Structure 1
């Protein structure tokens, strides 16, 4: 049986991950609390009026140290608490004065890259990498296949997914395109495979690049891992829920 093994959200794009025990998906939306904010750099055209591509934001592929960050979003107050092994714990309101946040994160940002300048938020639209509101579904068996090829343990956080499933064959998720999947009370439809970048080469504990993940994916004839799904029917999902094609 295929089951949910973990659920993750990333309140600020590329700036931390947070485990949740359950969530309630909404049709046509990203996971609640996921990529609510994104950090636009000083060369970005993002103004919060609409979705824009990931190149407009500070992200792990250009600033590897960001990968080691964890985050906690208070759903009631909107406050976000960030932790990083090289920085003191920091709590702030992303919709308020962000100057202290920019000062806090600056020591781990590369000086030769575009610098973080502001936070943007698009109403009712998480800033996922897809041009449609998506939830990323990951397959533990595919992760283990990559891990076996590279020859040492890998954290699942390299993939920055939302829903992790176990009980499938490796890469079986790629056969799900345009098919509906029931997870808990929700129905999702995978729309595209998730193409991967240099962010995956970075260790989520240290923030250092230490694994040639892209070459491993190349050996399979692609650079994809996980699928991006649209929420067709909203509903509650939680750890250990069954996942099945319908």
Structure 2
């Protein structure tokens, strides 16, 4: 079976919504365009977007399960985002100009015993991915199906918050790609590392409530990883349906 791209996703505001794409053009040395371009700093964070900092500086699904149920729609030209959540009215706002509107919208989703969201930060350099290099996350549908079988029920792929989904591989084959180059459509990416996972994966993307112990399922394979992080070394277009091959 030929490996192909089945889905492409980006997350304009880190941990605050996902958006499907039919195509994307990658640039060498950069993350996916508009993916994690913004992040939400909490009240104790000193992050200002000038340099990459770890996810501990931001409001995120691992600490606030309800955030998992947010979806996003980005208007690239206007740089406005429409957020949707089953428990909140839709919100259209400009992250660089309408932070107050966003903070008011998200406040009811934040537990009182958690650090509260304080401001929106725009990345002035590398995107706010969970790696300290600009990364694109590659996910294997066969590995996802293996996790579904282990927990005994269907799971949404959105628990993994990946960028590019690939089908036609063996389960966990992507782990063999570390330090290897992969051609996806018109781009070439070098796989740098496995993606370590946290409690964010326990949250249901439809409800924003924790309902499945994903980390224990992964632990049954003696690891806590899902997907791989890759660096773009040759830019180019990627469209759903494109071939994927290790080179």
Q: Same fold (TM over 0.5)?
A: yes
Q: Secondary structure at the match of 1:60?
A: coil
Conserved 8 A contact 1:29-1:124:
no
Preserved contact between residue 11 and residue 17 of structure 1 (Cα < 8 Å): yes
Classify the secondary structure of the residue corresponding to 2:76.
Answer: coil
1:124 Cα offset (Å):
4.3
The match for 1:86 is 87
The aligned counterpart of 1:111 is: 112
Please tell me the root mean square deviation across aligned C-alpha atoms, in Å: 0.6
- CA distance in 2 between counterparts of 1:74 and 1:170 reads 36
1:67, 1:244 → 2: CA distance? 31
Aligned partners of 1:93, 1:216: CA distance in 2, in Å? 39
Stretches of structure 1 that go unaligned for 5 or more consecutive residues are none
| Structure 2 unpaired stretches of 5+ | none
Q: Deviations over 1:22-79 (max 9, x none)?
A: 0000000000110010000001120111010000000000000000000011111100
2: CA distance between counterparts of 1:200 and 1:48?
26
Aligned to 1:98: 99
Q: Which residue of 1 aligns with 2:57?
A: 56
Structure 1 consecutive aligned stretches of length 4 or more whose deviation exceeds 6 Å: none
* Pair 1:46 & 2:80 matched: no
Q: Deviations over 1:70-121 (max 9, x none)?
A: 0011111100000000000000000113111100100011111111001111
Q: Tell me the distance in 2 between the aligned counterparts of 1:103 and 1:76.
A: 25
Q: What is the match of residue 126 of structure 2? A: 125
Q: Say which SS state the counterpart of residue 118 (structure 1) adopts.
A: strand
Aligned length in residues: 246
Give SS of 1:45's match. coil
Q: Which residue of structure 1 lines up, in the alignment, with residue 227 of structure 2?
A: 226
Rounded to whole Å, the distance in 2 between the matches of 1:135 and 1:97 is 28
2:22 corresponds in structure 1 to: 21
8 A contact 2:139–2:162 mirrored in 1: yes
Equivalence for 2:197: 196
Counterpart in 2 of 1:164? Answer: 165
The question of whether the paired residues in 1 share the 8 Å contact of 2:17 and 2:72 is answered with yes
Q: SS state of the match for residue 133, structure 1?
A: coil
Q: Please state whether the residue corresponding to 1:191 is helix, strand or coil.
A: strand
Is the contact between residue 175 and residue 194 of structure 2 (CA under 8 Å) also seen in structure 1? Answer: yes
- The aligned counterpart of 1:2 is 3
CA distance, structure 1, for counterparts of residue 193 and residue 111 of structure 2: 32
Aligned-residue offset at 1:201: 0.4
- Whether contact under 8 Å (2:49, 2:125) holds in the other structure is no
